[in-house]
Structure 1
Amino acid sequence: MKIAVVGIGCRFPGAQGPDEFWQLLREGKDMTREVPADRFNVEAVYAPESGTPGKTASRKGAFIDQIDKFDAEFFQVSAKEAAKMDPQQRLLLMSAWDALEDAGQPPSRVAGSRTSVFVGMMNADYWDLQHRNGIADMDLYSFTGMHQRSLASGRLSYAFDLRGPSVTIDAACASSLVAIHLACKSLRSGESTMALACGVNLVLTPHENVMYSQVGMMAPDGRCKFGDASANGFVRAEGIGVLVLKPLERALADGDRVRAVILGSAVSNDGRSKDTLTAPSVVGQEAAIRWAYEDAGIAAAEVDYVEAHGTGTRIDLVELNALSAILAPNRPADRPCIVGSVKTNIGHAEGAAGVAGVIKTVLCLQNGEVPPNLHFDTPHPKLDWDAMPLLIPTRAHALGSADKRAIASVSGQGISSTNACIVLTQADPVAQHTSAEAGRPHAVTLSAPNPAGLDAVCRSFLASLEDGEAGKRHSLRDIAYTTTQRRAQHASRVAFVAASHDELALSLRRHLAGGTSGSFGHGAADDEAGADALRRRLQQIADAYMAGNEVDWSDAAESGGRLVDLPSYPWQLDRHWLDVSRLETNRSAA
């Protein structure tokens, strides 16, 4: 069974959402920077020499902004509970909403369904901070918000009333790839009808930095230099990624937008195929890749792109040798397999590293392009590059062609010796149909849980209608279909009836300036349009909608509407964090 990727929600260093992430990748940006003061005091734990007891050799990382902020009111979470919730849970909630919105799956569609949740997660730094705060401050919210990592998946299932399996996976840095693999298995077996496959990682304490530095795993310059002669370790990073997955046939029947298709997957373990538990193994990695290709029903020579684990450590040599052994047979000499690593852009997101790689690969397949791999200047001398059918790109490369859909795979490993591989391909192209009736009026709805949120939604939507922005490129029919039939309908709401993008933008401006809802588009130049029977019918439905009634837009909507990219919900963020003053007091007393 083929699995469709129908929605993406993500937050990575320097990017919120798939569009910003793709722009970052295309521009070849390196998002590493010095550890910010709101994470920990890097000066206190820094020493330039790897292995210095109690010290880290790197001052850098890749970080997400505003991790202390959360829209608690939107998810009906009290301020007290929000402060005790691991920010990984909070960011998962918002990213999962973004992903469901991107997939056109409002809560009314998914509540009570056999939708599963699989979350890859390996760190719990917020619990470490809470633990240092002392046991007197611990309560039920500490237990559900931080102590039990199982609550990361359970929180999503509860928030959206999802009744399928709900599991948090810790397979170290392979965690989120294993989560995607298990989600696909659940869908294929019929256990789930839809799945959220997630990964999350935040860096809040210096402990792991210090431990990794003791064994020379941290790059002093803060860069992952995959495949390069100067590779000397990785840089730690943060990330949150959520994929909405469905069986492909079901997704097509439901009119979903298919971003890419998962053909197969596999997970292996190195066992005792190496000298020590934590050493990488060619045998284990080859097994996962080979099994995934067999599961996908493809020959290795068909693979056009591999998103590697690619940390810039000794694992690179093992991984590249494993890939070469599998990809070389029957591959034309003039068609090497492109191999890259997202870690060269955003660092190693550990528990979220796999989903970051999959999201990058989905975007590559969707856009028919592989962006440049950073920090690859001198090929590693211990590899026989002339004999390897691999190309690490230092510039953008086209992916796929008119007569061949591109095939890609994503590899990942964990220090627990777990290996995982996901195989994907491009979705079938969708014919672009313009609106059948020029000048036909359409109804567009916008909503939020409260008036302040609604104003933010309207401002965001208005910005998308500017020349060159995504909203202006979509047909009004598709915008109307997406907002009325594929988005959540909250309590604070407004509806606009318009026959053009300009009229819609004018109505939004009037509303934001304090105009009366329901009387849009009826200026002096619009008398004839205002008398139109369809416009009157749409306005009647719009009035009922704004009065809080449940309405059916399908009867008055133009047929053929498609789900399209529109601005995601603009979160109303407030700070929620532990009582740091008490933490510092307890530290001093200790």
Structure 2
Amino acid sequence: MASALSGRETENTPSGRVAVIGIGIRAPGGVTDTASYWDAIVRARDLTGDLPADRREAFGAEWDDVVTRGGYLDNPFDFDARFFGMSPREARTVDPQHRLLLEVVWEAFEDAGTPPGAGAEATGVFVGITGQDYRHWLSGEPNSYWTVGNGHSFSAGRIAHTLGLGGPAVAMDTACSSSLVAIHTACRALTAGDCDLAVAAGVNLVLSPRTTREVGRTGALSPDGVSRPFDAAANGFVRGEACGAVVLKRLDDALRDRDRVHAVIDGSAINQDGRSATFTAPNGDSQARLIGSLLARIGLTGADIGYHEAHGTGTQLGDPVEMRAVTTALRTGGGVLHVGSVKANLGHTESAAGVMGLVKAVLCLENRLIPPQAGFETLNPRIDLTGTGVVVPGRALPWGPEAGARASVCSYGMSGTNAYAVLSAAPAPDPVPARDTGPVPGFTISARTPAALGELAGRYGEHLAGLAEDGYPAFAHTATHGRTRHARTVWVGADSAAAACEAAEAFAHGLDHPAVRPLAEDEPAPWPAPAGARVVASLPSYPWQHVRHVVERDGGQA
């Protein structure tokens, strides 16, 4: 972390381009995957709402003098402890942020079609995390589980321990820029050879009123509970919850291994505000210097950036300063630049904000679409975009040639640590040689428990019902070779999507089907991995068998 505080920019060089090969995500409004996240963004949905009852009941009147509207996750205390080999007693005392990270990181590996154990010794873990609200739930003397369940360092260490990952495992707290700093640090570790695969994540939960009250004293919170980045009516932000994780790999390695690449991180950089008006005030000169220096070092100009995901908190001070930095550093080559901020949808997810913004930028690149800025009506009069080509989009727009082909993301911490990344679309994959393809004999369904196995079979059946036949080989390959083999496994012998759907749905409903048979724990699947034919498809996520795990404030446990 010395580089984050040195006042000098540090960057990943052009030869160190990094592929995003897996994404896991949880966001307010029931968002549990990239499809639902993108849908909310494109429809400009406001995913914020009232404080959940379980938070309010635990602290009662302590919430009365703070702004409670925000972006809240559904059931953040629910966790599949058994899946991760954790006892109920331990699970209750582990910070729900750490538990959420375990599930979302697992989902990111599943999205990558890469079992976490593959290359485990060379896999690094990088986590951005700030809050420690769960400590306020404990009364009485902390026990040993509590000690190792709530410190920031244990968030990354627990992921590495649970999944058996032997690369660097680091948790970092730079306030709101934490998760983009984590992504930057992961990219540097990959280019330096410290690891060959990395997962970078960020998480934020609002579990007690104390932190909200402290943030409110800074004057940064919206008194009416609405985040309005760049808008004339902007009066602060609302707090938000989220967890995001990306699996990263050196681009050359990802292409060699035929991974599915969501997007490419062309470069990233971090610096510090240094001396500014006050300790927490943003420094536009530092922001502009960060952007300009990275672009210069990776051989790009502002004209190459067509969409910029801004920090965009919706504060009267921060937005004008940031937009001046954007127009200074990115409008050096003409063309149109679209600028947005997902905080209007989610609230400010703080230590998760950087990864949530990066995932939004990845989805913009994948869909070649500029989404509308949620809630935007009139430009803040303190922001002057005259003649700059900068546009805050009020509706969804095709990403045309008038705008640069790349996206960029920035995330600024109240600590003064700034982070910036530039992304490009995934390169077209090489075609799979005909000799590597062949008849598909079927696929495996595997889970930890009988209940989870049946539920996963049902999810697979629903997915197969809408799957074109030419997508079935990739589905079967990923299900069989791109997911972890668990204690409960069945083989579905089906050579088409239609036959597979019928068999999976029958099994999910507890019916015998001639195409489905159980596999013993040590019995290999009847379909060895075809040499050189790795193909990754999107599959339904693992069905967590959730149980509510929370330490009650009176010292009891529920």
The verdict on a shared fold, with TM-score over 0.5 as the criterion, is yes
> Who wins on radius of gyration, i.e. which is larger?
1
SS at match of 1:167: strand
Q: After TM superposition, where is structure 1 displaced by more than 4 Å over at least 4 residues in a row?
A: 431-441, 557-561
Determine which of 502, 517, 523 is the counterpart of 1:549.
523
Deviations 1:500-559 (A, max 9, x none): 222112212332344446x318xxxxxxxxxxxxxxxxxxxx87x44632357337x598
- Identical aligned pairs, as a percentage? 38
What do you get for the CA RMSD once the two structures are aligned?
A: 2.5
Determine which of 17, 25, 43 is the counterpart of 2:41.
25
Match of 2:69 in 1: 60
Determine which of 157, 181, 184 is the counterpart of 2:187.
184
The separation in 1 between residues aligned to 2:510 and 2:320, in whole angstroms, is 63
The separation in 1 between residues aligned to 2:549 and 2:85, in whole angstroms, is 14
The separation in 1 between residues aligned to 2:95 and 2:500, in whole angstroms, is 41
Match of 1:35 in 2: 51
Conserved in 1, the CA contact under 8 Å of 2:155 and 2:171? yes
The separation in 1 between residues aligned to 2:447 and 2:312, in whole angstroms, is 41
The separation in 2 between residues aligned to 1:150 and 1:337, in whole angstroms, is 39
- 1:241-280 paired onto structure 2 within 5 Å: 241-272=244-275, 274-280=276-282
Letter in 2 for 1:88: Q
SS at match of 1:420: strand
Seen in structure 2, the aligned counterparts of structure 1 residues 169 and 437 have a Cα distance that, compared at 3 Å, is closer
The separation in 2 between residues aligned to 1:288 and 1:91, in whole angstroms, is 32
Determine which of 193, 199, 203 is the counterpart of 1:200.
203
Conserved in 2, the CA contact under 8 Å of 1:174 and 1:420? yes
Letter in 1 for 2:123: T
Conserved in 1, the CA contact under 8 Å of 2:371 and 2:397? yes
> What is the Cα deviation at residue 46 of structure 1?
6.2
Match of 2:474 in 1: 478
Seen in structure 2, the aligned counterparts of structure 1 residues 140 and 404 have a Cα distance that, compared at 3 Å, is same
Give me the TM-score of the superposition, normalised by structure 1.
0.87
Letter in 2 for 1:226: P
Conserved in 2, the CA contact under 8 Å of 1:59 and 1:220? no
1:134 aligns with 2:108: no
Deviations 1:91-130 (A, max 9, x none): 000001000011111134133x211111000111011222
Conserved in 2, the CA contact under 8 Å of 1:434 and 1:475? no
- 1:277-426 paired onto structure 2 within 5 Å: 277-313=279-315, 314-331=317-334, 335-399=335-399, 406-426=405-425
Determine which of 132, 141, 144 is the counterpart of 1:124.
132
Give me the TM-score of the superposition, normalised by structure 2.
0.91
Match of 1:537 in 2: none
> What is the Cα deviation at residue 449 of structure 1?
1.2
1:85 aligns with 2:88: no
1:3 aligns with 2:18: yes
The separation in 1 between residues aligned to 2:384 and 2:40, in whole angstroms, is 31
SS at match of 1:387: coil
Conserved in 2, the CA contact under 8 Å of 1:474 and 1:564? no
> What is the Cα deviation at residue 579 of structure 1?
3.1
Aligned residue pairs, count:
539
Match of 1:575 in 2: 548
Letter in 2 for 1:572: Q
Conserved in 2, the CA contact under 8 Å of 1:236 and 1:349? yes
Deviations 1:291-313 (A, max 9, x none): 22234321122111100000000
Conserved in 1, the CA contact under 8 Å of 2:263 and 2:362? yes
> What is the Cα deviation at residue 267 of structure 1?
0.6
Conserved in 2, the CA contact under 8 Å of 1:172 and 1:416? yes
Conserved in 1, the CA contact under 8 Å of 2:244 and 2:355? yes
The separation in 1 between residues aligned to 2:373 and 2:71, in whole angstroms, is 17
The separation in 1 between residues aligned to 2:416 and 2:130, in whole angstroms, is 14
The separation in 1 between residues aligned to 2:63 and 2:99, in whole angstroms, is 30
Letter in 1 for 2:98: Q
The separation in 2 between residues aligned to 1:24 and 1:286, in whole angstroms, is 30
Match of 1:538 in 2: none
Point out where structure 2 has 5 or more consecutive residues left out of the alignment.
Answer: 1-15
Match of 1:445 in 2: 444
The separation in 1 between residues aligned to 2:536 and 2:233, in whole angstroms, is 46
Letter in 1 for 2:354: G
Match of 2:7 in 1: none
Letter in 2 for 1:566: L
The separation in 2 between residues aligned to 1:458 and 1:6, in whole angstroms, is 25
Deviations 1:396-435 (A, max 9, x none): 122255x998211101111111111011010113477899
